[in-house]
A and B are shown apart, each in its own frame.
Chain A
Amino acid sequence: MTSRLKSLIFAAIGVFGAACLAGIALNRGETINAFWFVGAAFGVYLLAYRFYAGWITAKVLCVDESRATPAEVLNNGRDYVPTHRWVTFGHHFAAIAGAGPLVGPTLAAQFGYLPGTLWLLVGAVVGGCVQDMIILFCSTRRNGKSLGQMARDELGPIAGNAALVGTLLIMVLIVAVLGLVVVNAMKHSAWSTFTVAMTIPIAILVGVYMRHIRPGRVMEGSLVGFALMILATFAGGWVDADPVLRTYFIFDGPTLALLVIAYGFLASILPVWLLLAPRDYISTFVKIGVILMLAFAIIVLQPDIKMPAFTKFIDGTGPVFAGSLFPFLFITIACGAISGFHALISSGTTPKMIANEKDIQLVGYGSMAMESFVGIMAMIAACVLEPGVYFAINSPAGIVGADVTKAVATITGWGFPVTAETMNQLAKDMGETTLLARTGGAPSLAVGMATIFAGAFGKHLLALWYHFAIMFEAVFILTAVDAGTRVGRFMLQDLLGNIYKPLGNVSSYPSAVMSSAAFVAMWGYFLYIGTIDPYGGINILWPLFGISNQMLAAIALAVATGILVKSGKLRYVWVTAAPLTVLTFITSWATYEKILSADPRVGFLAGADALEAKLMAGQLTGKMAEVAPQLIFNQRLDAVLSVFFVAVLFVTIAETVRLTLRHINGRPVPPLAEVPYRPHPPMSDVAVGHGD
C-alpha cells in the first residue's frame, strides 16, 4: 500500500470518528443509536494508536528493532519465549481484561452516557494505554523485571516498598469488591446461585480431565467445561422451577459472602491443577465469549440508547454511588480508562514473550485500547435500558426503599418514570423474583445484554440470556477471586518473610495455609461488611477500590517518569508526567472527599458520625441497630485506609520529584538499570513463524 493511500485511509477514519463523536456529543433528541459510540471509539483508538503511540515509540522510547529482547537472549522455552506479536497480544489481553471494565462503566452510567464515554476514550488514549505500553517497554529492557523491582532499582528502596504495600492492598480490595459483585448477583436467586455453584464441580471435573484423562489437552478440556456450563445454565432454570429444590439455593447476602470466602480459601490451598487452573481455562474462553457476544449485540443489532447524555446526578446525589461527577467519575470508571493493575501484567509474563521491541506498541497500547472498548460496550449495555429501570436495578434499598411501590415512586420522582408492573414483569421475564436493588452492576449488565438479544431473537429466551450473562460474569469474577487470593498469599508471604524467614517459604504447607487464611480474612472482612450494609456496600467499596487502583496507576507512571528522566528524555517527560499529575490530583481529591466530606453518603467519617448519632438517639431498630456498630467501625477503618493510600502515593511522587531534581542538577542518582544493547542472536531460536 502506498503511503499516500495509507494517509488517506487514516484521514478518512479520523473524519469518521470525529463525526461519530460530534453526533454523540451534540445529540439532544430522544434516543441515539449505539452505532455512533462504536464508530467514535473505533476512530479515536485507531488514530491514537497510529499517531500518538507511534510517535511515543519512535521519539520517546526510541524502540530499536535491531535490539535483542529478553525472550531471545534468555529463551528457555518456558517463561522466556519469543512469541508472534498477535499471540502475545492475545495473551496480554486475556490477562488484563476482567470484570473491572464491565462494572465501572455500568455504575458510571448514573451520570448519563456522555461523561463516562468521554473519559473511557480520553483516559485510555492518553493515560491507560500509555502506562501499559511504557511499563511493558521498561520491563522488556530490564529482562522482564516486576513493577516493584523497577520501582526499587530506579527510584530507590522507599518507592520500592511503597509499590509493594500498595499492590498488596489493591489485591485485598479488588477481591473483596469483585466478591461483592458476584454475591449481589446471586442474592435470593436460586437460578443464579445454582448455576454459579455448579461451575465449581465442573472446574474440578475439567481439572481431572486435563491432568489425568487427556493430559495437557487444554482446548478440549475447556470446550467440555464450556458445554457443561451451558448445560448448568439450563439446569438452573429447572431447579428454579421446582418448588422444593429451589429452596436449597436461596441465600441472603451475608451467607453467600461466607460461602464465597470459604471458596476463596479452599481454592487457594488446593493444588492449582484441581480447581484454579481448569477454572481459569474455561473462564478465559467464557470471557472472550462474553466480549464477542456483547460486541455482536452492539455492533450488529445496534440498539438505541435511552439514557440522557447527562443526568441530574452529576451533582453527587446519585443513588448508585454517592459523589459528584468530579472526581468520582474517574474513580468509578477506573479499569476501562486507566488501571494500575495492568502494570503488574505488563511487567510480569508479557515482557518475557516480546519477540521484537517493535511489537510493544501493538501489545501494550493495542490491548489496552481494546479493553477500553469493552468498557464502552458495557456503558452502552447500561444505557440501552430505560433509565427508570436502570436506577431501579442499581439503587440500594437503603435509598429508594425495599418495597416496589415505594422504590418506583422514588425513582419516578427523580424524573425517570418506571412502574411497579414494569419491574415485576421484567423480573418475571428474566426468571428472577425481583430485580430491585440488585447493586454491583452485574445484574444490570445482564439485563442490558438480554434486552439487546431479545430484540433480535424474541422475548421468550430472555431468562436464559439473562442467566447466561450472569453465569459468564460470575465465572470470571470467581476466577479473579481465587487467582487474586493466590497471588495475595504469595505477596503476603514475601512481606512476612522479611520479618520472620520461615513465613516466607512459599512451598511450606503450614505457611501457605496460614498466609492464605490471613489474606482471605482481609478481603473477607470487606466483603462481609459490604453485604450487611443497607446501602449495598458497593457505594463504599467500589470508590475505595477505584482509589487504590488509580493510586497504583500513579505509582506505575511515577516509575515510568523516573526512567524517562534518567534516560535523558526530559523534554518528553510530560507523556507520563501529565497523566501522573492528573491522576494524583483526581485520586487526592477523591480521597479528601471520601474522608472529610460532610455528606454522610460521601464522607466516611461523616457517615460514621451520622450513624453513631442515630444509634445513640435510639432511632435505629431491629437488624440495623445490630449491625450499626460494625458499620461505624468499618467507615472509620476505610478513612484510615484512604489516608494510607494517599500517603503511599505521595511518598512515591516525592521520591520521583527528588530524583528528577537531582538528575537535573547533575547530582548522582541510582543508575539506569536497563540491560545493555545486544543484537539479535545470530541463530535466533525464534518460535515465531506463522503469519509473519
Chain B
Amino acid sequence: MLISYLRAFWNGFRQVTGDDAFERYLERHNRLHADVAPLDRKEFFKSELQRRWDGVRRCC
C-alpha cells in the first residue's frame, strides 16, 4: 500500500521533472509508428529542449 503510493509519487515526480520523457516517447513511438526508427536519446533530448524553450515557460 505505502510502497505503491511511493512508487506513484516517484513516477509522478519523474514526469514533472521530465526525467522519463525519453522512455515515454519510446513507448508511444513503438506503439504508434513501430515501423519508423525512433530518435536516439541524444537527438530526442535536443529536440525536447528546443520545443520547451520556444515560448513562455517561466514567470515572475
Interface residues of A (CB under 8 A from B): 77-79, 83-84, 86-87, 90-91, 94-100, 174, 178, 210-212, 215-219, 222, 272-273, 276-277, 280-281, 284, 334-335, 339, 341-342, 344-345, 348-349, 479-480, 483-484, 486-487, 490, 506, 549, 685, 687, 690-691
For B59, list chain A residues within 8 Å (CB): 95-98, 100, 339, 341-342, 344-345, 480
In the assembled complex, the CB of A305 is this many whole angstroms from the nearest CB of chain B, namely: 26
For B22, list chain A residues within 8 Å (CB): 216
Residues of B11-60 at the interface with A, using a CB-CB cut-off of 8 Å, are 11-19, 21-22, 24-25, 28-29, 32, 41-42, 44-46, 48-60
Q: Which residue of B lies closest to A171 (CB)?
A: B56
What are 9 pairs between A and B in contact, CB < 8 Å?
Answer: A90-B12, A100-B59, A211-B42, A215-B45, A216-B41, A218-B18, A272-B49, A280-B58, A685-B28
For A272, list chain B residues within 8 Å (CB): 49-50, 53
Chain B's interface size range is 35 or more
B12 and A211 within 8 A (CB): no
For B7, list chain A residues within 8 Å (CB): 690
For A178, list chain B residues within 8 Å (CB): 60
B60 and A84 within 8 A (CB): no
- CB-CB under 8 A for A217 and B42, given A272-B49, A341-B60, A479-B58: no
Having A98-B58, A277-B52, one finds 16 other A-B pairs with CB under 8 Å, namely A90-B16, A98-B59, A178-B60, A215-B42, A216-B48, A218-B18, A218-B19, A272-B53, A273-B46, A342-B59, A345-B59, A479-B58, A480-B59, A480-B60, A487-B55, A685-B28
For B13, list chain A residues within 8 Å (CB): 90
In the assembled complex, the CB of B13 is this many whole angstroms from the nearest CB of chain A, namely: 8
In the assembled complex, the CB of B57 is this many whole angstroms from the nearest CB of chain A, namely: 6
Q: In the bound complex, what is the Cα–Cα distance between A486 and B16 (angstroms)?
A: 23
B46 and A84 within 8 A (CB): no
Which of the residues A216, A335, A349 comes within 8 Å of B57, measured between beta carbons? A349
Q: In the bound complex, what is the Cα–Cα distance between A341 and B60 (angstroms)?
A: 7
B14 and A216 within 8 A (CB): no
A interface: dominant SS: helix
A690 and B44 within 8 A (CB): no
- CB-CB under 8 A for A77 and B49, given A216-B21, A690-B8, A691-B8: no
B46 and A211 within 8 A (CB): yes
Closest 6 CB pairs of A and B: A100-B60, A90-B16, A216-B45, A219-B19, A215-B42, A690-B8
For A90, list chain B residues within 8 Å (CB): 12-13, 16
Q: Which residue of A lies closest to B5 (CB)?
A: A691
B58 and A339 within 8 A (CB): no
In the assembled complex, the CB of B6 is this many whole angstroms from the nearest CB of chain A, namely: 11
Q: Which residue of A lies closest to B42 (CB)?
A: A215
A84 and B17 within 8 A (CB): no
In the assembled complex, the CB of A500 is this many whole angstroms from the nearest CB of chain B, namely: 22
Q: Which residue of B lies closest to A96 (CB)?
A: B59
For A86, list chain B residues within 8 Å (CB): 12
For A483, list chain B residues within 8 Å (CB): 53, 57-58
For A479, list chain B residues within 8 Å (CB): 58
For B12, list chain A residues within 8 Å (CB): 84, 86-87, 90, 690-691
- CB-CB under 8 A for A217 and B58, given A77-B28, A211-B45: no
Which of B29, B42, B44, B45 gathers most chain A CB within 10 Å? B45
Q: Which residue of A lies closest to B41 (CB)?
A: A215
- CB-CB under 8 A for A217 and B51, given A178-B60, A210-B45: no
Q: In the bound complex, what is the Cα–Cα distance between A690 and B8 (angstroms)?
A: 5
Q: Which residue of B lies closest to A371 (CB)?
A: B59
A273 and B49 within 8 A (CB): yes
For A273, list chain B residues within 8 Å (CB): 45-46, 49
- CB-CB under 8 A for A484 and B58, given A215-B41, A215-B42: yes
- CB-CB under 8 A for A216 and B54, given A95-B59, A98-B59, A687-B24: no
